[in-house]
Amino acid sequence: MKYDVVIVGGGSAGCTLATRLSENPNRSVLLLEAGHDYPDIDQLPDALKLGHRQEATDIDSPFNWAYRGQGTPEQSVPMQVARGKVIGGSGSVNGQVFLRGVPEDYDDWAAEGNDQWSYVSLLPFFRKLETDLNVRDDFHGTDGPIPVWRLPREEFMPVNEAFHQASVAAGFPEDPDMNNPDSTGTGALPMNNPGGIRMSAALSYLNPNRHRLNLTVKANVLAHRVVFDVDRAIGVEVESGGEKFTVEGSEIILCAGGIATPQLLLLSGVGPAAHLGELGIPVVYDLPGVGQNLRDHPLINVELEPKDGVKLATVEPRIQSGLRYTAEGSDTRNDMQLFPSSFTGLRAGDPLQGRSPDRPQGMRITCILKLADSAGELTLNSADPSDPPNLNFRYFESEWDRQRMREAIQLSLKFLEHPSFGPLIERRLSPTDQDVATDDAMDAWLRQNVATTQHTSGTCKMGPDSDPMAVVDQYCRVLGLQNLRVVDLSVCPNVVRANTNATAIVIAERAAGWISCRES
């Protein structure tokens, strides 16, 4: 059977796009996913369903691609890069922060020649995708698939309350709605886990619409390469159950995310010709930008030992509140984020870094650089689709990036001096006093201890023909080829100053209206 649309990747963007495109009963849609599928919430494992559970991002989890990445050349142990391998993708295993980028993020995309992606253009789609349970105004949706809520301050964990008091005392404003376009400061983060359920795009978009006769979902199918007839995409070569075969489509859409989408393009012969030649992959189209412009949010944790008897998160949301602020001397608003968290029990850890089996309980303040100067690169290890790609993030190559992260650490240490933290903290575990004694010492510590926030973006960036690194145009069509699009976070010219799940979904919502196909 030949489908009108074949979507590769059943993550946040893929589930959203499959749902929207199948609203036309005359359009046949096939959604392919390499991981498992759970069509009914009653079948969904607790590791995916319950927001406080984090074991789905363990290295040995069947729901995790478990990539490895090099953060800096000095890093002795590669970073864990968790990506969801299941219908719902990383939105089925994440920390459930549903934060939009600041308006300037999208306006910057528009200024680079992508005028359909300004904040004003995207706002109707942000409203369309959500039902905000707390805020009713022109900036929020009331009847969309994704429920969004904020934990009341009276329900904050002790570390979150202490952090809130310390940040207000330091002069930062209280922020009741971080998805307001003028938002800045400290407060509860918008979340998509009401009742403790992780409301992925699989649960909110796809599952209610699986009854459609024109929508087919196939799980446990690994895509090997896109198949071309000269410059026209005609299908996808896949493997399932030990068998290889080709599925045909009038339009092929890659929604596999910031890592797997560029990997698949490279395996298909679309990318830098020199790199493809090194691996013996026939070049279909020389597109230098594929795998370049790897953008992410570098992360550093200030680790704390709690005093005995302090209440720590068990079934409560691990991420509850945070602070967004503008670094000193910065002209990019909200380029920094801090958030406190606590953890205890068998599944100790946090949504960003997985379990900590050697630490049954703890607290931390997480420092995140939201708009880094530095950019990395994704390349293939081999022509084998099962071989993970090389991920070189190149964090902290810029002194400006190091300066802002040093400031974030010092700000965290200042917060810890506030009286509200006194009854909670036994001692600071890291960084040590020696680690923060000088800028050079702090830089060395940063380079060794940096981690990813799991927000890989930009590796198939959109842009005009004049941009030599552009991979798709602003309508998500792969340059130089026909019937092939990319609709996921890899098209972002830069990573947004926010957690990326909301942006992944809005990209699919925005692109859905542009996608046409040959209908019977």
Is there a contact between 512 and 20 (Cβ–Cβ < 8 Å)?
A: yes
437, 434, 391, 424: which is closest to 307 by C-alpha?
Answer: 424
- Annotation marks residue 36 as catalytic: no
Alpha carbon dihedral 340, 343, 349, 353, in 10-degree steps, equals -10
Going by C-beta distance under 8 Å and a sequence separation of 6 or more, which residues neighbour residue 138?
Answer: none
CA atoms of 331 and 65, how far apart (whole Å):
37
Residues 106-115: contacts with CB under 8 Å, at least 24 apart: 106/496, 108/493, 108/494, 109/462, 109/492, 109/493, 109/494, 112/463, 112/464, 112/467, 112/493, 113/463, 113/464, 113/466, 113/467, 113/474, 114/462, 114/463, 114/464, 114/474, 114/493, 115/474
Q: Coil, strand or helix: which one is 63?
A: coil
Task: Give 89's DSSP letter.
Answer: G
Q: Is the dihedral of CA 78, 79, 84, 89 positive or negative?
A: negative
Candidates 140, 164, 297, 455; catalytic one? 455
- Largest separation between any pair of C-alpha atoms in the chain: 69
- The residue type found at 300 is I
For the record, the structure tokens of 242 come out as 């030990």
In 64-104, DSSP assigns E strands to 67-69, 79-81
364 three-state secondary structure: strand
462, 478 contact by CB (below 8 A): no
DSSP, collapsed to helix, strand or coil, labels residue 211 as coil
Catalytic residue numbers? 455
